[in-house]
Amino acid sequence: MNPGSKTSILVIYTGGTIGMVKDPESGVLKPFNFDNIYQQIPMLKLLDYHIGNYCFDPVIDSSNMNPRFWAAIAEVIEKNYESYDGFVVLHGSDTMAYTASALSFMLENLNKPVVLTGSQLPLGMIRTDGRENFITSIEIAAARIDDTPVVPEVCIYFENQLLRGNRTIKYNAENFQAFKSPNYPSLADVGVYIKYHHANIRKPNFKNLKVNSRMDNSVSILKLYPGISENSVKAIVQTEGLKALILETFGSGNAPTEAWFLSLLEKTIKKGIIILNVSQCQGGSVEMDKYQTGVTLQNIGVISGNDITTEAAITKLMFLLANENSTPNIQKKLSISLRGEITTN
Ligand code: ASP
Protein backbone atom coordinates (compact mmCIF):
# COMPACT_ATOMS: atom_id res chain seq x y z
CA MET A 1 0.00 0.00 0.00
CA ASN A 2 1.29 3.51 -0.79
CA PRO A 3 1.46 5.63 2.34
CA GLY A 4 -1.52 7.90 2.52
CA SER A 5 -3.44 6.00 -0.11
CA LYS A 6 -6.68 4.15 0.57
CA THR A 7 -6.63 0.52 1.68
CA SER A 8 -7.48 -1.58 -1.34
CA ILE A 9 -9.37 -4.85 -1.35
CA LEU A 10 -9.92 -7.17 -4.28
CA VAL A 11 -13.25 -8.99 -4.24
CA ILE A 12 -13.09 -12.21 -6.23
CA TYR A 13 -16.49 -13.56 -7.13
CA THR A 14 -16.64 -17.27 -7.94
CA GLY A 15 -20.40 -17.83 -7.53
CA GLY A 16 -22.55 -19.42 -4.83
CA THR A 17 -25.83 -18.51 -3.20
CA ILE A 18 -24.68 -15.04 -2.20
CA GLY A 19 -25.02 -13.84 -5.79
CA MET A 20 -27.74 -16.22 -6.98
CA VAL A 21 -31.17 -15.31 -8.26
CA LYS A 22 -34.30 -17.39 -8.71
CA ASP A 23 -34.82 -18.54 -12.27
CA PRO A 24 -38.31 -17.16 -13.07
CA GLU A 25 -39.31 -20.26 -15.04
CA SER A 26 -38.00 -23.15 -12.93
CA GLY A 27 -37.87 -21.39 -9.53
CA VAL A 28 -34.39 -22.85 -8.78
CA LEU A 29 -31.40 -20.75 -7.68
CA LYS A 30 -28.81 -20.00 -10.36
CA PRO A 31 -25.59 -17.93 -10.13
CA PHE A 32 -25.95 -14.42 -11.46
CA ASN A 33 -23.34 -11.89 -12.53
CA PHE A 34 -21.39 -9.62 -10.23
CA ASP A 35 -23.25 -6.38 -10.96
CA ASN A 36 -26.11 -7.87 -9.00
CA ILE A 37 -24.02 -7.68 -5.82
CA TYR A 38 -23.44 -3.93 -6.06
CA GLN A 39 -27.09 -3.36 -6.82
CA GLN A 40 -27.98 -5.31 -3.69
CA ILE A 41 -25.45 -3.60 -1.35
CA PRO A 42 -25.13 -0.01 -2.50
CA MET A 43 -23.57 0.88 0.90
CA LEU A 44 -20.42 -0.98 -0.19
CA LYS A 45 -19.61 2.21 -2.03
CA LEU A 46 -19.67 4.07 1.30
CA LEU A 47 -16.72 2.11 2.72
CA ASP A 48 -13.57 4.17 2.69
CA TYR A 49 -11.60 1.55 0.77
CA HIS A 50 -10.74 1.08 -2.82
CA ILE A 51 -12.66 -2.06 -3.78
CA GLY A 52 -11.69 -3.77 -7.00
CA ASN A 53 -13.45 -6.81 -8.33
CA TYR A 54 -12.67 -9.87 -10.37
CA CYS A 55 -15.56 -11.96 -11.57
CA PHE A 56 -15.11 -15.48 -12.90
CA ASP A 57 -16.97 -16.26 -16.08
CA PRO A 58 -18.99 -18.36 -15.74
CA VAL A 59 -19.65 -18.13 -12.01
CA ILE A 60 -20.43 -21.52 -10.52
CA ASP A 61 -22.33 -23.32 -7.83
CA SER A 62 -19.46 -24.46 -5.61
CA SER A 63 -20.45 -28.10 -6.08
CA ASN A 64 -18.67 -27.72 -9.43
CA MET A 65 -15.44 -26.56 -7.76
CA ASN A 66 -12.26 -28.40 -8.79
CA PRO A 67 -8.43 -28.08 -8.60
CA ARG A 68 -8.29 -26.11 -11.89
CA PHE A 69 -10.63 -23.52 -10.41
CA TRP A 70 -8.56 -23.39 -7.18
CA ALA A 71 -5.48 -22.73 -9.31
CA ALA A 72 -7.34 -19.97 -11.15
CA ILE A 73 -8.29 -18.29 -7.84
CA ALA A 74 -4.69 -18.59 -6.59
CA GLU A 75 -3.43 -17.07 -9.83
CA VAL A 76 -5.82 -14.10 -9.56
CA ILE A 77 -4.45 -13.49 -6.05
CA GLU A 78 -0.86 -13.84 -7.28
CA LYS A 79 -1.37 -11.39 -10.17
CA ASN A 80 -2.97 -8.80 -7.89
CA TYR A 81 -0.91 -9.45 -4.77
CA GLU A 82 1.17 -6.30 -4.90
CA SER A 83 -1.72 -4.00 -5.85
CA TYR A 84 -4.12 -4.98 -3.05
CA ASP A 85 -3.94 -5.11 0.74
CA GLY A 86 -6.36 -7.99 1.10
CA PHE A 87 -8.66 -10.34 -0.77
CA VAL A 88 -12.28 -11.39 -0.25
CA VAL A 89 -13.38 -14.49 -2.14
CA LEU A 90 -17.14 -14.84 -2.57
CA HIS A 91 -17.80 -18.55 -2.81
CA GLY A 92 -20.61 -21.05 -2.41
CA SER A 93 -20.71 -22.42 1.09
CA ASP A 94 -20.98 -26.08 0.05
CA THR A 95 -17.30 -26.59 -0.79
CA MET A 96 -15.89 -23.43 0.79
CA ALA A 97 -13.93 -25.40 3.40
CA TYR A 98 -12.20 -27.40 0.63
CA THR A 99 -11.30 -24.26 -1.30
CA ALA A 100 -10.03 -22.50 1.82
CA SER A 101 -7.90 -25.53 2.65
CA ALA A 102 -6.57 -25.83 -0.91
CA LEU A 103 -5.70 -22.12 -1.09
CA SER A 104 -3.91 -22.29 2.26
CA PHE A 105 -1.51 -24.86 0.79
CA MET A 106 -1.21 -23.22 -2.62
CA LEU A 107 -0.39 -19.76 -1.22
CA GLU A 108 2.98 -20.26 0.47
CA ASN A 109 4.34 -17.31 2.53
CA LEU A 110 0.97 -15.60 2.42
CA ASN A 111 1.30 -12.30 4.26
CA LYS A 112 -2.05 -10.75 3.39
CA PRO A 113 -5.63 -11.69 4.33
CA VAL A 114 -7.62 -13.98 2.06
CA VAL A 115 -11.15 -14.11 3.49
CA LEU A 116 -13.68 -16.51 1.99
CA THR A 117 -17.33 -15.82 2.55
CA GLY A 118 -20.76 -16.47 1.10
CA SER A 119 -24.26 -16.86 2.43
CA GLN A 120 -27.14 -19.22 3.02
CA LEU A 121 -29.68 -16.82 1.50
CA PRO A 122 -29.07 -14.80 -1.68
CA LEU A 123 -28.35 -11.08 -1.31
CA GLY A 124 -31.61 -10.25 -3.02
CA MET A 125 -33.65 -11.76 -0.19
CA ILE A 126 -34.73 -9.47 2.63
CA ARG A 127 -33.47 -11.80 5.39
CA THR A 128 -30.17 -12.47 3.65
CA ASP A 129 -27.11 -13.24 5.77
CA GLY A 130 -24.94 -12.27 2.81
CA ARG A 131 -24.86 -8.53 3.43
CA GLU A 132 -23.26 -8.75 6.88
CA ASN A 133 -20.94 -11.59 5.84
CA PHE A 134 -19.71 -9.63 2.85
CA ILE A 135 -19.22 -6.25 4.52
CA THR A 136 -17.52 -7.67 7.61
CA SER A 137 -15.22 -9.78 5.41
CA ILE A 138 -14.11 -6.61 3.70
CA GLU A 139 -13.47 -4.97 7.08
CA ILE A 140 -11.42 -7.99 8.18
CA ALA A 141 -9.43 -8.10 4.94
CA ALA A 142 -8.66 -4.40 5.39
CA ALA A 143 -7.73 -4.51 9.10
CA ARG A 144 -4.15 -3.48 9.82
CA ILE A 145 -2.09 -2.67 12.88
CA ASP A 146 1.06 -0.61 12.24
CA ASP A 147 0.68 -1.23 8.54
CA THR A 148 0.71 -5.01 9.05
CA PRO A 149 -2.42 -7.02 8.18
CA VAL A 150 -4.18 -8.36 11.27
CA VAL A 151 -5.13 -11.69 9.65
CA PRO A 152 -2.45 -12.70 7.14
CA GLU A 153 -3.90 -16.12 6.39
CA VAL A 154 -6.66 -17.91 4.47
CA CYS A 155 -9.80 -17.82 6.58
CA ILE A 156 -13.57 -18.19 6.40
CA TYR A 157 -15.89 -15.53 7.73
CA PHE A 158 -19.47 -16.64 8.24
CA GLU A 159 -22.14 -15.54 10.71
CA ASN A 160 -20.05 -13.64 13.26
CA GLN A 161 -17.10 -16.00 13.31
CA LEU A 162 -13.73 -15.82 11.64
CA LEU A 163 -12.22 -19.29 11.37
CA ARG A 164 -8.95 -20.65 10.02
CA GLY A 165 -9.83 -21.92 6.54
CA ASN A 166 -8.05 -25.27 6.76
CA ARG A 167 -9.63 -26.06 10.16
CA THR A 168 -13.18 -25.41 9.04
CA ILE A 169 -16.01 -27.73 8.05
CA LYS A 170 -19.49 -26.97 6.75
CA TYR A 171 -21.74 -28.74 9.21
CA ASN A 172 -25.18 -27.22 8.72
CA ALA A 173 -27.11 -26.89 5.47
CA GLU A 174 -29.63 -24.35 6.69
CA ASN A 175 -28.45 -22.46 9.79
CA PHE A 176 -26.82 -19.13 9.15
CA GLN A 177 -24.06 -20.49 11.37
CA ALA A 178 -23.05 -23.10 8.82
CA PHE A 179 -19.38 -23.58 9.67
CA LYS A 180 -17.36 -24.68 12.61
CA SER A 181 -13.77 -25.35 13.48
CA PRO A 182 -13.90 -28.17 16.03
CA ASN A 183 -10.18 -28.47 16.67
CA TYR A 184 -9.01 -24.87 16.55
CA PRO A 185 -10.41 -21.76 18.24
CA SER A 186 -11.84 -18.86 16.23
CA LEU A 187 -9.55 -16.12 14.91
CA ALA A 188 -12.13 -13.44 15.67
CA ASP A 189 -15.65 -13.13 17.04
CA VAL A 190 -17.89 -10.44 15.70
CA GLY A 191 -20.65 -8.50 17.42
CA VAL A 192 -20.69 -4.78 17.94
CA TYR A 193 -16.88 -5.04 17.74
CA ILE A 194 -14.63 -7.31 15.74
CA LYS A 195 -12.66 -9.03 18.51
CA TYR A 196 -9.49 -10.51 17.07
CA HIS A 197 -7.86 -13.33 19.00
CA HIS A 198 -4.34 -12.39 18.05
CA ALA A 199 -2.74 -15.39 19.74
CA ASN A 200 -4.69 -17.73 17.42
CA ILE A 201 -3.74 -15.94 14.21
CA ARG A 202 -0.68 -16.91 12.14
CA LYS A 203 2.14 -14.40 12.18
CA PRO A 204 3.39 -12.90 8.91
CA ASN A 205 6.83 -14.13 7.82
CA PHE A 206 7.44 -11.23 5.38
CA LYS A 207 8.82 -13.59 2.72
CA ASN A 208 7.73 -13.38 -0.90
CA LEU A 209 4.51 -15.10 -1.86
CA LYS A 210 5.04 -18.37 -3.69
CA VAL A 211 2.05 -19.84 -5.50
CA ASN A 212 2.05 -23.63 -5.94
CA SER A 213 -0.99 -24.05 -8.10
CA ARG A 214 -0.42 -27.67 -9.13
CA MET A 215 -2.55 -30.34 -7.48
CA ASP A 216 -2.57 -34.09 -8.12
CA ASN A 217 -6.01 -35.61 -7.64
CA SER A 218 -4.85 -39.26 -7.65
CA VAL A 219 -6.41 -39.55 -4.21
CA SER A 220 -9.49 -41.10 -2.70
CA ILE A 221 -11.44 -41.41 0.55
CA LEU A 222 -12.59 -44.65 2.13
CA LYS A 223 -15.15 -44.09 4.85
CA LEU A 224 -15.43 -47.10 7.14
CA TYR A 225 -18.70 -48.40 8.52
CA PRO A 226 -19.62 -51.57 10.40
CA GLY A 227 -20.32 -54.24 7.79
CA ILE A 228 -18.14 -52.78 5.03
CA SER A 229 -17.52 -55.49 2.44
CA GLU A 230 -14.26 -56.75 1.03
CA ASN A 231 -15.44 -55.85 -2.47
CA SER A 232 -16.10 -52.23 -1.51
CA VAL A 233 -12.67 -51.85 0.06
CA LYS A 234 -11.03 -53.59 -2.91
CA ALA A 235 -12.79 -51.29 -5.37
CA ILE A 236 -11.26 -48.26 -3.69
CA VAL A 237 -7.74 -49.47 -2.89
CA GLN A 238 -7.36 -51.01 -6.35
CA THR A 239 -8.41 -47.79 -8.14
CA GLU A 240 -6.22 -47.35 -11.21
CA GLY A 241 -3.53 -44.69 -10.63
CA LEU A 242 -4.30 -44.22 -6.92
CA LYS A 243 -1.39 -42.60 -5.04
CA ALA A 244 -2.89 -41.73 -1.66
CA LEU A 245 -5.94 -42.72 0.33
CA ILE A 246 -7.69 -41.15 3.30
CA LEU A 247 -9.05 -43.82 5.61
CA GLU A 248 -11.93 -42.28 7.56
CA THR A 249 -11.81 -44.29 10.74
CA PHE A 250 -13.84 -44.59 13.92
CA GLY A 251 -13.17 -42.54 17.07
CA SER A 252 -9.51 -41.98 17.76
CA GLY A 253 -8.40 -43.70 14.54
CA ASN A 254 -9.74 -47.24 14.93
CA ALA A 255 -10.64 -49.75 12.24
CA PRO A 256 -11.70 -53.41 12.00
CA THR A 257 -8.97 -55.95 12.69
CA GLU A 258 -10.33 -58.59 10.30
CA ALA A 259 -7.52 -60.30 8.40
CA TRP A 260 -8.88 -59.59 4.89
CA PHE A 261 -9.12 -55.86 5.68
CA LEU A 262 -5.65 -55.48 7.15
CA SER A 263 -4.09 -57.53 4.39
CA LEU A 264 -5.71 -55.34 1.70
CA LEU A 265 -4.38 -52.21 3.40
CA GLU A 266 -0.93 -53.72 3.85
CA LYS A 267 -0.72 -54.71 0.17
CA THR A 268 -1.82 -51.20 -0.80
CA ILE A 269 0.91 -49.58 1.31
CA LYS A 270 3.52 -52.03 -0.06
CA LYS A 271 2.60 -50.81 -3.56
CA GLY A 272 3.72 -47.32 -2.43
CA ILE A 273 0.23 -45.90 -1.86
CA ILE A 274 0.04 -43.59 1.16
CA ILE A 275 -2.78 -44.25 3.63
CA LEU A 276 -3.68 -41.38 5.96
CA ASN A 277 -5.86 -42.06 8.99
CA VAL A 278 -8.47 -39.32 9.57
CA SER A 279 -11.20 -39.70 12.18
CA GLN A 280 -14.88 -39.61 11.29
CA CYS A 281 -15.35 -37.65 14.54
CA GLN A 282 -15.38 -33.92 13.96
CA GLY A 283 -13.60 -33.11 17.21
CA GLY A 284 -10.50 -34.72 18.70
CA SER A 285 -7.55 -36.45 17.21
CA VAL A 286 -6.36 -39.76 15.79
CA GLU A 287 -4.26 -41.60 18.37
CA MET A 288 -3.32 -44.90 16.83
CA ASP A 289 -1.47 -46.15 19.90
CA LYS A 290 -4.54 -45.99 22.15
CA TYR A 291 -6.42 -49.18 21.17
CA GLN A 292 -5.31 -52.45 19.61
CA THR A 293 -7.54 -51.62 16.62
CA GLY A 294 -5.41 -48.52 15.96
CA VAL A 295 -2.05 -50.12 16.75
CA THR A 296 -2.56 -52.70 14.02
CA LEU A 297 -3.00 -49.89 11.47
CA GLN A 298 0.14 -48.17 12.70
CA ASN A 299 2.09 -51.43 12.42
CA ILE A 300 1.28 -51.83 8.74
CA GLY A 301 2.36 -48.26 7.92
CA VAL A 302 -0.85 -46.21 8.06
CA ILE A 303 0.03 -42.55 8.85
CA SER A 304 -1.79 -40.57 11.52
CA GLY A 305 -3.76 -37.58 10.29
CA ASN A 306 -3.73 -36.17 13.81
CA ASP A 307 -6.66 -33.72 14.20
CA ILE A 308 -6.90 -32.74 10.54
CA THR A 309 -10.27 -32.30 8.83
CA THR A 310 -11.04 -34.47 5.80
CA GLU A 311 -11.24 -31.27 3.73
CA ALA A 312 -7.72 -30.22 4.72
CA ALA A 313 -6.41 -33.80 4.42
CA ILE A 314 -7.59 -34.34 0.85
CA THR A 315 -6.26 -30.98 -0.35
CA LYS A 316 -2.97 -31.40 1.53
CA LEU A 317 -2.48 -34.77 -0.16
CA MET A 318 -3.27 -33.31 -3.60
CA PHE A 319 -0.79 -30.51 -2.88
CA LEU A 320 1.99 -32.76 -1.59
CA LEU A 321 1.61 -35.32 -4.40
CA ALA A 322 2.03 -32.55 -6.96
CA ASN A 323 4.85 -30.69 -5.24
CA GLU A 324 7.04 -33.23 -3.42
CA ASN A 325 9.42 -35.55 -5.18
CA SER A 326 9.43 -38.58 -2.87
CA THR A 327 7.04 -40.63 -0.76
CA PRO A 328 9.17 -40.22 2.43
CA ASN A 329 8.99 -36.42 1.99
CA ILE A 330 5.21 -36.59 1.66
CA GLN A 331 4.97 -38.83 4.71
CA LYS A 332 7.14 -36.42 6.70
CA LYS A 333 5.08 -33.38 5.69
CA LEU A 334 1.82 -35.13 6.55
CA SER A 335 2.99 -35.32 10.14
CA ILE A 336 3.86 -31.65 10.45
CA SER A 337 1.78 -28.50 10.27
CA LEU A 338 2.43 -26.63 7.02
CA ARG A 339 -0.20 -23.88 7.40
CA GLY A 340 -1.63 -24.47 10.85
CA GLU A 341 -3.86 -27.33 9.65
CA ILE A 342 -2.93 -29.76 12.46
CA THR A 343 -2.07 -29.42 16.11
CA THR A 344 1.49 -30.48 16.85
CA ASN A 345 3.31 -30.12 20.11
N1 ASP B 1 -25.02 -24.58 -3.56
C2 ASP B 1 -24.47 -23.33 -3.11
C3 ASP B 1 -22.98 -23.34 -3.41
O4 ASP B 1 -22.22 -23.91 -2.68
C5 ASP B 1 -24.73 -23.15 -1.67
C6 ASP B 1 -24.20 -21.85 -1.08
O7 ASP B 1 -23.65 -21.00 -1.72
O8 ASP B 1 -24.38 -21.69 0.13
O9 ASP B 1 -22.56 -22.80 -4.39
Regarding the beta carbon of 19 and ligand 1, being less than 6 Å apart is answered: no
pLDDT in tens, 181-240: 999 999 999 999 999 999 999 999 999 999 999 999 999 999 999 999 999 999 999 999
In this structure, the answer to whether residues 182 and 201 fall within a common structural domain is yes
Q: Are 13 and 54 in contact (CB under 8 A)?
A: yes
Does residue 343 lie in a domain region?
no
Q: How far is CA 186 from CA 97, 151, 163, 198, 245, in A?
A: 15, 12, 5, 10, 29
CA–CA separation, 113 vs 166, rounded Å?
14
User: Can you give the pLDDT at residue 44?
Assistant: 80
pLDDT in tens, 126-169: 899 999 999 999 999 999 999 999 999 999 999 999 999 999 99
Domain boundary among 211, 231, 247: 211
In this structure, the answer to whether residues 249 and 278 fall within a common structural domain is yes
Residue 235's H or E segment, with its range, is helix 230-237
8 C-alpha vs ligand 1 centroid, how far in Å? Answer: 27
pTM, entire model:
0.95
Query: Range with the lowest mean pLDDT among 10-14, 49-53, 90-94, 274-278?
Result: 49-53
332 C-alpha vs ligand 1 centroid, how far in Å? Answer: 35
More confident residue, 44 or 54: 54
Does residue 104 lie in a domain region?
yes
Burial 29-52 (b: 16+ CB within 10 A, else e): eebbebebbeebbeebeebebbbe
Regarding the beta carbon of 92 and ligand 1, being less than 6 Å apart is answered: yes
Regarding the beta carbon of 16 and ligand 1, being less than 6 Å apart is answered: yes
Does residue 340 lie in a domain region?
no
Q: How many domains does the chain have?
A: 2
288 C-alpha vs ligand 1 centroid, how far in Å? Answer: 36
The catalytically annotated residue of 17, 117, 296, 315 is 17
pLDDT band at 2 (very low <50, low <70, confident <90, very high): very low
Query: With 80 as the cut, is the pLDDT of residue 23 above it?
Result: no
User: Containing domain of residue 234, as a range?
Assistant: 219-334
Query: With 70 as the cut, is the pLDDT of residue 36 above it?
Result: no
Pocket test for ligand 1, best of 37, 63, 311 (most atoms within 8 A of CB): 63
200 secondary structure, DSSP code: G
96 C-alpha vs ligand 1 centroid, how far in Å? Answer: 9
Regarding the beta carbon of 93 and ligand 1, being less than 6 Å apart is answered: yes
Regarding the beta carbon of 61 and ligand 1, being less than 6 Å apart is answered: yes
Does the annotation count 17 as an active-site position?
A: yes
Atom 8 in ligand 1: residue holding the nearest Cα = 93
Residue 62 alpha carbon, nearest atom of ligand 1: 9
Q: Are 339 and 104 in contact (CB under 8 A)?
A: yes
In this structure, the answer to whether residues 287 and 268 fall within a common structural domain is yes
Regarding the beta carbon of 118 and ligand 1, being less than 6 Å apart is answered: yes
Atom 1 in ligand 1: residue holding the nearest Cα = 61
- Tell me the CATH number at 232: 3.40.50.40
In this structure, the answer to whether residues 203 and 226 fall within a common structural domain is no
- Tell me the CATH number at 14: 3.40.50.1170
Does residue 288 lie in a domain region?
yes
Query: With 60 as the cut, is the pLDDT of residue 289 above it?
Result: yes
Q: Are 291 and 256 in contact (CB under 8 A)?
A: no
In this structure, the answer to whether residues 39 and 160 fall within a common structural domain is yes
CA–CA separation, 221 vs 224, rounded Å?
10
Regarding the beta carbon of 129 and ligand 1, being less than 6 Å apart is answered: no
More confident residue, 86 or 5: 86
Pocket test for ligand 1, best of 93, 128, 171 (most atoms within 8 A of CB): 93
Query: With 50 as the cut, is the pLDDT of residue 27 above it?
Result: yes
User: Can you give the pLDDT at residue 32?
Assistant: 67
31 C-alpha vs ligand 1 centroid, how far in Å? Answer: 9
Average pLDDT, the chain: 93
pLDDT in tens, 238-285: 999 999 999 999 999 999 999 999 999 999 999 999 999 999 999 999
